[in-house]
Structure 1
Amino acid sequence: MTHSLALDVDRIRREAQRTIDAGPVRSAYGPDIERVICVLNNVVAAEVVGWLRCTRQAILAHRSTPTPAGESFKTQADRRMRHAVALADRIVRLGGRPDFDPATLAQRSRTDYSTADDTELRAILEQNLLASRIAVATYRQVADWLGDHDPLSRRLIESVLADERRTAAELTALLGSPAAPAPRTSPE
């Protein structure tokens, strides 16, 4: 026994034409679409603030000669900028507007921009590791929250999360390497 699939192509075409002026398909999200866009914009903010921090660190680390830490900071900065652009593109595809407002970036980022003393490599590495761990925990929650509701955004967040885990592993390795000075001990 064969089952045939009867499609009403004319009805499908009329429906598609009727909704073409509505912009991106948003009906699957219901009222949560604005919340998804807001959450993604907060992740954009975290990535932009991280890009700013890592770019500054890469430039300062290469003052005299390239170092493994400086190369790592440059790689981290490049990843973060790619993430921010990909997330902003996703926001546009969802019908939203990416929020790059400098006045609110730090507040929305959930990570700290503060910079450690430029001469204290270990402190800089620890600061970046802390930011990466915050991002890993945050992005994991975002991916779980998105679930099957928005698989495209979830996969994008999971991709960013995988890079954050890679960054955390790189920073941990740098902290254990001879190039990272041992922590200073304070006199008691």
Structure 2
Amino acid sequence: MVESQTSPFVTDLQAIRHRVLEHLEEGAFARDAPYTVATTLRLLNDALATEIVCVLRYTHHALSTAGLDSEAVKAEFGQHAREDQEHALRLSERIHTLGGQPDFHPRGISSRDAHPSGADPHPGDRLRESLLAKRIAIETYRDLLRHFANHDRTTRRLLEDILQQEESHAHDMHAALVAHQRRCSRMN
């Protein structure tokens, strides 16, 4: 009785071993569906471009924001720049693991930025712009999660981690914007 219960499992392992051996020269991942891998790499490079642009934008905002309440806003932008840099590194590592090349070319980055930056120097406007960018990023990551839900669990987990932090960033940006608006209304 025990033998019949283990035989199908052993047979399945033998079938898996046979399939893997047929595609061993392809590296760590079988390329059963090249379109899926190519699409995955394109989508991850698009997400990478958005994260890189956010790092640049938030670094610029952290360095150039001025005004009576600028220190809190600067600190918020600086923290988000560092965290988005970590997102970019993690996305780059995943792209590399899948056999692709992370696209760091400036032209490619700007053409794939999901939310171009405005040029308004006021902290409140920068916070609004940043909240908008975060909301766009959240929706983009949610779309990506739907795409990867059933065929790439590793990428899905990476995107879930990034989405969780992006949602936290949006909450922080909203709280900073509300606090900024309160300070401004008290001054008027």
TM-score w.r.t. the length of structure 2 is 0.83
Residue 169 (1) aligns with residue 153 (2): no
Q: Aligned in 2, Cα 1:146/1:9: closer, same or farther, shift over 3 Å? A: closer
Residue 158 (1) aligns with residue 160 (2): yes
Q: Which AA in structure 1 matches 2:46?
A: N
Q: Aligned in 2, Cα 1:57/1:180: closer, same or farther, shift over 3 Å? A: farther
Residue 135 (1) aligns with residue 143 (2): no
| Segment drifting more, 27-36 vs 69-78 | 27-36
Q: How does 1:10-49 map to 2 (within 5 A)?
A: 19-49=23-53
> Which one of 101, 121, 124 corresponds to residue 123 of structure 2?
121
Q: Which residue in 1 is equivalent to 2:104? A: 100
Unaligned runs of 5+ in 1: none
Q: Aligned in 2, Cα 1:131/1:104: closer, same or farther, shift over 3 Å? A: same
| Segment drifting more, 4-13 vs 143-152 | 4-13
Question: What is the alpha-carbon distance in structure 2 between the residues aligned to residue 180 and residue 44 of structure 1?
Answer: 35
Please report the RMSD computed on the Cα atoms of aligned residues, expressed in angstroms. Answer: 2.8
The percentage of counterpart residues that share the same residue type is: 28
Question: What is the alpha-carbon distance in structure 2 between the residues aligned to residue 29 and residue 66 of structure 1?
Answer: 50
Question: What is the alpha-carbon distance in structure 2 between the residues aligned to residue 81 and residue 74 of structure 1?
Answer: 11
Deviations 1:54-82, CA, capped at 9 Å, x for gaps: 01111223799971111110110011110
Question: What is the alpha-carbon distance in structure 1 between the residues aligned to residue 183 and residue 160 of structure 2?
Answer: 30
Residue 181 (1) aligns with residue 163 (2): no
Q: Is the 8 A contact 1:92 1:98 kept in 2?
A: yes
Q: Is the 8 A contact 2:59 2:77 kept in 1?
A: yes
Shift, 1:30, TM fit: 4.0
SS where residue 96 of structure 1 aligns?
coil
Work out the number of aligned pairs and report it. 181
Q: Which residue in 2 is equivalent to 1:147? A: 149
Residue 70 (1) aligns with residue 82 (2): no
Q: Which AA in structure 2 matches 1:92?
A: H
Q: Is the 8 A contact 1:106 1:113 kept in 2?
A: no
Q: Aligned in 2, Cα 1:180/1:97: closer, same or farther, shift over 3 Å? A: farther
TM-score w.r.t. the length of structure 1 is 0.83
Q: Is the 8 A contact 1:122 1:180 kept in 2?
A: no
Question: What is the alpha-carbon distance in structure 2 between the residues aligned to residue 114 and residue 57 of structure 1?
Answer: 11
Unaligned runs of 5+ in 2: none
SS where residue 27 of structure 1 aligns?
coil
